[in-house]
Structure 1
Amino acid sequence: MSQHALLNSVEHSDLKVITQAGAEYGDNLWFTPTFPQEFRAVSAYYPIFFHKDPATDTFHAVALFGFTHNDNLFLDGDHWQAGYIPLSLRRQPFLIGRQRFKEDGMDKEQRVIHIDLAHPRVSRSQGEPLFLPLGGNSDYLDHMAELLETLHLGMEDGQDFVENLKRLALLEVVTLELTLNDGSQHQMVGFYTIDEARLAQLDGETLAELNRRGHLLAIYLAIASQSRMRDLLARKNQRLGL
């Protein structure tokens, strides 16, 4: 169970974060959320699809790591076999929280860093320290603060991106048919992709607006990334010794 707390140098002065990869640290995921500004880096290694959260009925762009739950084909023991790890995974065990305060008699809100004290990456004996011995943030914590800000802004734009895709009817459900080297067949359901036929019908004004927002490039990067399915399938065959 998660145990979120507002990070501070008094209560958490001796906390460290384990940064190595490993299933025991929560890395054995088969997909993770991503966002348009990250698509260029993500698409170099992972297929990008869209997933509908059944709890909230909202869509998110996701980077795909495998074909089933707890099946990360890029994770080999404590080694991640790709040159880029999406920010939504790298930010663990930190989260962005909101803190209300008064200034000049007015209610205001600011973003603050929370930490999940129950996360397996949190330690008091090993890993990267969060605070310096004499006070102040460590370089690692400052880096994570920048990462969280990038992630926050990126996910906000990601929601705008997905809303545009929905408005333009550019999302279509896809069933992924997988055939392994031993002839066994498997299906992946519940994912969505870009409707390329619908995309081709958009008028110039709509395409120009998508381009102005940076979303047209994201659409094409998402489409192109799906060629990475061949690499994912090869990794699955190799993992199974096929």
Structure 2
Amino acid sequence: MPNIALLNNVEHKDLRVITRRGARYGDRQMAAVTFPAEFRDVQACYPIVFRKTTDGLGFEPVALFGFHEEENLFLDGERWDAAYLPMMVERLPFLIGGSGSELMVHIDLDSPRVSRADGEAVFMPHGGNSDFLERNSSLLLAIHRGLQQTPALLAALLQHELLESFVLDVELNDGSQNRLAGFHTINEDKLAALGADAVAALHRAGHLQAIYMVLASLSNFRLLIDRKNAAHA
């Protein structure tokens, strides 16, 4: 259970954050939420798919790291073996919260990344923000703004019935069977059948590029399967 607190330089003056990667720091996760402004970077390394939100009422795009819960095929000891680290992973243990129109940085004090002896200092000795905190504050703001783009993209996908569920069955080199289910992707046939007006509207709204980034990312399933085979070897 997270222990979320508003970050301040009095109670948290000695806090440090461990930036190493690894399962013991919470990186053993199957997926992380992403957003349209990040799709270009994410699609270079990971499949982008859509999953139902926890309330079951909508969808959210995620970068996929494995085929089942608590599997991250990009973890190699204390190294994340990919050229790009998704923002929702990089920002941990920080979160952004609001009070009216003001956005403020929060921290999960129970995160295994939080320490008073190891890692990057959050505050300077005399109370000012460290460069590390400033970088993470900028990262949180980029995430906040990026997530605000997602509802419009999802509304457009649902309007044109472009989301479809899929099941991926994988037989590994050792003969074991693996199935990925419960996710959605872009229906390419319906996308190709859209009329010129609908395509132009998607383009004007900036959604068309995001859609094609999602489709381009699906080639990374082959790389994910290769990683799965290597892990089983």
> Partner of 2:4 in structure 1?
4
The answer as to 2:172 corresponding to 1:180 is yes
Q: Which residue of 2 is the match for residue 16 of structure 1? A: 16
Distance 2:116 2:83 in 1: 29
Deviations 1:47-94 (A, max 9, x none): 111111243422111111010111100001101100101101111111
Deviation at 1:229, TM superposition (A): 0.5
Distance 1:211 1:143 in 2: 32
Q: What residue is the counterpart of 1:105 in the other structure? A: none
SS at match of 2:148: helix
Q: Distance in 1 between matches of 2:216 and 2:48?
A: 9
- Structure 1's consecutive aligned runs of 4 or more residues displaced over 3 angstroms after TM superposition are none
Paired AA for residue 129 in structure 2: N
CA–CA distance in structure 2, aligned partners of residues 110 and 202 of structure 1: 41
Aligned-residue Cα RMSD (Å) equals: 1.1
Map of 1:79 onto structure 2: 79
The SS at the match of 2:105 is strand
Percent identity, aligned pairs only? 48
Alignment of 1:1-242 (within 5 A): 1-100=1-100, 109-241=101-233
Amino acid at match of 1:233: I
Where do 5+ consecutive residues of structure 1 fail to align? 101-108
TM-score by length of 2: 0.97
Hey, what's the Cα distance between the residues in 2 that align with 1:147 and 1:51? 24
Q: Give, in whole Å, the separation in 1 of the partners of 2:43 and 2:54.
A: 25
TM-score (norm. length: structure 1) = 0.93
CA distance in 2, matches of 1:130, 1:220: 39
Question: Within 1, Cα distance between the matches of 2:116 and 2:188?
Answer: 51
Distance 2:9 2:176 in 1: 54
Unaligned 5+ segments in structure 2 are none
CA distance, structure 2, for counterparts of residue 120 and residue 160 of structure 1: 35
